[in-house]
Amino acid sequence: MYREEIKVLDCTIRDGGLINNHYFTDEFVREAYKALSKSGIDYMEFGYRNSKELFPTKDYGAWKYCDDDKISEIIDGIESNLKISIMVDAHRVKEQTFAPCHESPVDMIRVATYVKDIDKAIDLVNRTSDLGYETTVNIMAISKESEPATVEALDQLAKTAVDVVYVVDSFGALYCEPIEYLVKLYREHLPGKEVGIHCHNNQQLAFGNTIEGIIHNANYVDGSLHGIGRGPGNCCLELLVGFLKNPKFNLSPILKFIQEHMLPLREEIEWGYIIPYMVTGILNEHPRSGIAYRQTDDKDKYAEFYEQMLEALD
Amino acid sequence: MYREEIKVLDCTIRDGGLINNHYFTDEFVREAYKALSKSGIDYMEFGYRNSKELFPTKDYGAWKYCDDDKISEIIDGIESNLKISIMVDAHRVKEQTFAPCHESPVDMIRVATYVKDIDKAIDLVNRTSDLGYETTVNIMAISKESEPATVEALDQLAKTAVDVVYVVDSFGALYCEPIEYLVKLYREHLPGKEVGIHCHNNQQLAFGNTIEGIIHNANYVDGSLHGIGRGPGNCCLELLVGFLKNPKFNLSPILKFIQEHMLPLREEIEWGYIIPYMVTGILNEHPRSGIAYRQTDDKDKYAEFYEQMLEALD
């Protein structure tokens, strides 16, 4: 698939950080930035800009906050065309500040929101787009939302300066047909804006569904290195780059980073296709119950977990 | 997806046996048969009926040959509606014999073939359907075949007694659009016959592509327990059962078998999404070079493997 408009965003540090409280070493982030730059990826998401009141700095690594100075320190001296994004939760905005874009290493602010918080998301989009940032709204947990509420949110977003609105399958619950349906719905209600797609891999569908989104003209696509991300993780960036035929992409630096950095990391923290996450995916539930179960001695009692979940939802 | 015509076939022992020379214990096969029976699966493939001249019995387990007596011994005393299939390679038929179907525990003979060997496949279909078996032809490596040769093979098969013809993505190279194209092509050229789909998971697309096949009316679908199979393995049976809504299916016995038998087995033998198989998939190549690489000390040097493959194919 070669379509010049397609932009690939790597969310390794941001979504992967949900597993390790955003404690990545500076070296890891710097090497990731180098590898992604060499591989022709369009955006790298460094993490969240979260409130230090809500998330005390003693409990989290630097990428929970993404201070401009910290990002600048990491990328200093590396030649790159890679743009930088950070994510902000619309419902967790407290004392965070944003410098004018031209004074910041950040190019894009991605606002994560539920449909119910769309007004907060729009407020943040307005503030940050006025500062010169590219902006996106990532509507989470879309598999749980009703169509009227979703359409109302999209129609509100259509009137804002937001550049991209993402279909986010937070629970890894969607099959290809609802992905097609949602991408078309977003495009219909967001004339002149781009649609993005962010998938989770509970059912090994993150890559397939991302392709489905691309086929229906989602142009902003998320992946992560070796699929790292909370629970089952995300669409593998290496698969996306193998699929996209734009000659600017180069797979080798990504594969090299995976062998040198992701394999050792996977010895320490867990992500990927594991049955409790498959179960939460097919039941269209948040992965938190699966994550909690994986911390117990019963972590591999898959049938019991499934039965418990069925009972809890009955 | 609920469509009564859909039949699910488990190929755990047959395709998984390509990793361990078909050395599964009797207990493993018997417990799999019990679990699949309880879960409402339609067919269980016990292995190959291979020539003992070509594959000496000192080198392989019982499921390389699938003697009727051996199958009968395993299933003895277990209540089940599960049908039994075995596979035969069209280009490796030597001294193998087939009893009349009513004297055999086997219900279905699946003939694996390349397009070039289609006449041998048809000969075997004719012989075994005359004996009363259901028959299928599984056209392997379809991602390498030209359309005229494929169409000629399909038109020949249309005139035979074969019940089902499978799209087999042996190299895990196909994306959803060619799957749609091939399933429609098969259906067009095989009036009155069923189309099947068998996918490999090189690019984490086995399940997504199987759904794609189902959407376009492939009614025979292959999966394996926890995706076991050569190289990256197959579509996960547990995912298929989670997707199909026919109330006859029951996920719990499958999950229980996975936790009790597949997790220990994966400590001994390797399958799944591993980068060298992703590389052979995106390059549309047989996984054998990836399998060989995984036997070396360099097995995790992914970028080097990719570069070597590019060079070899240049």
Residue-by-residue DSSP string for B108-140:
EEEEEE-GGGHHHHHHHHHHHHHTT-EEEEEE-
Contact between A157 and A115 under an 8 Å Cβ cutoff? The reply is no
On whether both B117 and B42 belong to a single domain, the answer is: yes
Ordered per-residue pLDDT tens for chain A, 314 residues? 789 999 999 999 999 999 999 999 999 999 999 999 999 999 999 999 999 999 999 999 999 999 999 999 999 999 999 999 999 999 999 999 999 999 999 999 999 999 999 999 999 999 999 999 999 999 999 999 999 999 999 999 999 999 999 999 999 999 999 999 999 999 999 999 999 999 999 999 999 999 999 999 999 999 999 999 999 999 999 999 999 989 999 999 999 999 999 999 999 999 999 999 999 999 999 999 999 999 999 999 999 999 999 999 98
Which one-letter amino acid corresponds to residue A280?
T
On whether both B166 and B288 belong to a single domain, the answer is: no
> What's the domain range around A291?
275-313
Give pLDDT, residue A277: 98
Contact between A202 and A164 under an 8 Å Cβ cutoff? The reply is no
In a domain, B1, yes or no: no
Looking at the structure of chain A, the number of domains it has is 2
Task: Tell me, yes or no, if B207 comes closer than 8 A to chain A by beta carbon.
Answer: yes
Q: Say what the pTM is.
A: 0.97
On whether both A161 and A239 belong to a single domain, the answer is: yes
**Distance, CA of A77 to CA of A155 (rounded, Å):** 43
In a domain, B239, yes or no: yes
Specify the 3-state DSSP secondary structure of A50.
coil
Contact between B14 and B43 under an 8 Å Cβ cutoff? The reply is no
Chain B interface mutation, best of A175, A228, A255, highest count of B Cβ atoms under 10 Å: A255
On whether both B285 and B257 belong to a single domain, the answer is: no
Chain A interface mutation, best of B3, B200, B203, B254, highest count of A Cβ atoms under 10 Å: B203
Specify the 3-state DSSP secondary structure of A276.
helix
Q: How close B85 comes to chain A (CA, Å)?
A: 27
**Distance, CA of A197 to CA of A218 (rounded, Å):** 7
On whether both A197 and A300 belong to a single domain, the answer is: no
In a domain, A225, yes or no: yes
Q: Which residue has the tokens 């026919």?
A: B246
CB-nearest to B259 from A176, A278, A303 is A303
On whether both A33 and A62 belong to a single domain, the answer is: yes
In a domain, A1, yes or no: no
The tokens describing A174, both together, are: 């969607």
On whether both B251 and B280 belong to a single domain, the answer is: no
Which residues of B, range 219-238, sit inside 8 Å of A by Cβ?
Answer: 236, 238
On whether both A161 and A285 belong to a single domain, the answer is: no
On whether both B61 and B110 belong to a single domain, the answer is: yes
Report which of A251, A257, A217, A6 is spatially closest to residue B203, judged by C-alpha positions.
A251
Task: Tell me, yes or no, if B300 comes closer than 8 A to chain A by beta carbon.
Answer: yes
